[in-house]
Amino acid sequence: MTGAARKAARKLARDFGEVENLQISKKGPADFVSTADKTAEKTLQYELSKARPNFGFLLEERGEVAGADTSNRWIIDPLDGTTNFLHGIAHFAVSIALERDGEIFAGVIYEPIHDQMFTAEKGQGAHLNGGRIRVSGRNQMHESLFATGIPFKGVRNHPLFLRQLEAVMAISAGVRRFGSAALDLAYIAAGRYDGFWETGLSPWDMAAGIVLVREAGGFVSDLDGGQDMMSSGAILATNAPLREPLERILRESASGKRP
C-alpha cells in the first residue's frame, strides 16, 4: 500500500509544480486536475492489482470494480484535497484503505509534498513515517483544537453547519478548515487536532482515516454516535474524553439550541 501510494504521489508532486502555469492552459485548470486524479488512480489500481490480483476496488473516479475475492477490496481516493491542489496549496494526499469483510482493516494516507506517510493496520497501531502515533490527551473543550469541512456552493445544510460552527467556536481553542478530510483524520490520529466532524463525505474520503484514528486510540462514529459513517457521509472523530461533549454540542446545535 505504501509503495503504491508513493508511486502515484510522485506524478502528483510533479503536476503540482506546474500549477502556477495552469491558468494559461488551453484546457483550463479543472481539466488538468481531473487528468492528475485519473492518472494517480490508474497507478494505484495497477500497483495494488499486481500485489493482490483478486481484490476488488471502490474508486473515486471509476466507481466499484468487483474482484474474485469478495472478502477484500481497496477503497481509494487518488487525490484528496483537489481544490487545494488546484490553487497551489500544498495540502493534499493519496488515501488507500483495505476493507475486509465489511470492516476497514488497514489504511494509508500519504501527503507527498512534506513526505508524511500515515499508516495503520487493525491491531498493529498507527504510525507516521514508522514512528508510533496516538490521539491527543486533552480533555477540556476550551483547550482543544477542532477541524471540520465547510460546505460550499451546491452543498446543502449551510445554516446547520453555521450553527454547529458557532457552538464549537464558543467553547474551544479554535476551529480549522484545511480542505482534506483524509488529512484531517490523520491529524486526529497524530494528536494535532483534538476533534473533527464533517458531513457530505464519500467512503474514500474517510475509510483510511477511520482505521488510523481507531488504531491511534481514538473514537470514530457518525454524528449520532452510531457506525453509519460510510453510508451516511457524516463523521465525528475525537479522543475518548472529548467524544461525549463534542457529540452533544453538535446534536444540540442541530436541534437549534444555543451553545
179 and 211 assigned to the same domain: yes
122 and 157 assigned to the same domain: no
14 and 82 assigned to the same domain: yes
In this prediction, residue 254 carries a pLDDT of 78
27 and 123 assigned to the same domain: yes
122 and 147 assigned to the same domain: no
Query: In terms of pLDDT, which residue wins out, 15 or 172?
Result: 172
Is residue 245 scored above 90 in pLDDT? yes
Summarize the confidence of residues 175-184 as an average pLDDT.
97
Distance between CA atoms of 217 and 133, rounded to whole angstroms? 9
Is residue 106 scored above 60 in pLDDT? yes
Band the pLDDT of 30: cuts 50, 70, 90.
low
Looking at 80, 112, 131, which one is the last position of a domain?
131
Range of the domain at 23: 2-131
Q: 218: buried, middle or exposed (CB in 10 Å: 19+, 13-18, 0-12)?
A: buried
178 and 147 assigned to the same domain: yes
Band the pLDDT of 151: cuts 50, 70, 90.
confident
Is residue 123 scored above 50 in pLDDT? yes
Work out the mean pLDDT of the chain and round it to a whole number: 91
Amino acid letter, 50 = K
Cell 474517510 sits at which residue?
206
Is residue 216 scored above 90 in pLDDT? yes
In this prediction, residue 116 carries a pLDDT of 98
82 and 154 assigned to the same domain: no
In this prediction, residue 153 carries a pLDDT of 74
Sequence-separated (6 or more) residues with CB below 8 Å from residue 107: 95, 96, 97, 98, 118, 119, 120, 207, 208, 209, 210, 211, 212
Contact between 66 and 55 (Cβ < 8 Å): no
In this prediction, residue 258 carries a pLDDT of 55
In this prediction, residue 244 carries a pLDDT of 96
How many domains does the chain contain in total? 2
Is residue 136 situated within a structural domain?
no
Is residue 86 situated within a structural domain?
yes
Looking at 113, 131, 149, which one is the last position of a domain?
131
In this prediction, residue 152 carries a pLDDT of 77
Is residue 208 scored above 50 in pLDDT? yes
Contact between 229 and 138 (Cβ < 8 Å): no
Instruction: Report the CATH number at residue 234.
Output: 3.40.190.80
Is residue 21 scored above 80 in pLDDT? no
Distance between CA atoms of 11 and 2, rounded to whole angstroms? 15
234 and 124 assigned to the same domain: no
Is residue 71 scored above 70 in pLDDT? yes
Of 34, 207, 223, residue with least CA distance to 107: 207
Looking at 84, 109, 131, which one is the last position of a domain?
131
